[in-house]
Structure 1
Amino acid sequence: MFVVIVRFDVWSHSVSKFSELVQQQAENSLRLEEACHQFDVVQDASDPTVFYLYEIYDDRAAFDTHLAAEHFKQFDREAMLMVARKEVWLGSKL
């Protein structure tokens, strides 16, 4: 299994809108992508401007398919205006 962990630092004035947008992205990914098995959204308890995603896919190819999906491209376009910083970690589930 291929694991993706993403950290978003969101502008404070965009927290509510980003929260709605990223939750919809999680729902879309799980519903529309057969190879997406998990897509958790976590908001940091000590800093509400920080969000983490934990995603599990069949393999790297399935994640690449996710990145090419129209729902992801739309999310990415909308979210980029709300995000101050983004970090991505890729790995394999043991």
Structure 2
Amino acid sequence: MARCFQSVGLTPAEHRDDFVRAARKTGRESVANEPGSYRFEVIADETDPDLFYLNEVYADLDAFNTHADGPYFSAFFAEASAYAEGPKWLMRGTLVGDGVA
């Protein structure tokens, strides 16, 4: 499985609700309509109200690339680029083994 975790900061802060709406919509549409797109979580930082994390899980790197080249990703960044800084990649990798310690 391919996984990525990234941070996105907002400027100006009044776009918080816009960002959350757009990111959650992207996640719902991606998971529902893109084969191999398993998880798309929008996580709010516990101390900074203008900082968010996106936790994404895909079947493999090809599924991630399909998402990155797809319509939901493009629509999200077309909207969010007006008020979001990032994404900053915090982690991008592939699960080793079956996920059991």
The structure with the larger Rg is 2
CA RMSD of aligned residues (A): 1.1
Counterparts of residues 61-72 of structure 1 (less than 5 Å): 61-72=62-73
Deviation per residue, 1:22-81 (Å, 9 max, x gap): 111111111111201111110112111011011111111111100111121111111111
TM-score by length of structure 1 reads 0.92
Q: Secondary structure at the match of 1:30?
A: helix
Q: Secondary structure at the match of 2:52?
A: strand
Matched with 2:99 is none
Matched with 2:38 is 37
Counterparts of residues 43-82 of structure 1 (less than 5 Å): 43-82=44-83
Q: Percent identity?
A: 26
Unaligned runs of 5+ in 2: 97-101
Could you list the runs of 4 or more consecutive aligned residues of structure 1 that deviate by over 2 angstroms after TM superposition? none
Unaligned runs of 5+ in 1: none
Letter in 2 for 1:5: F
Q: Secondary structure at the match of 1:46?
A: coil
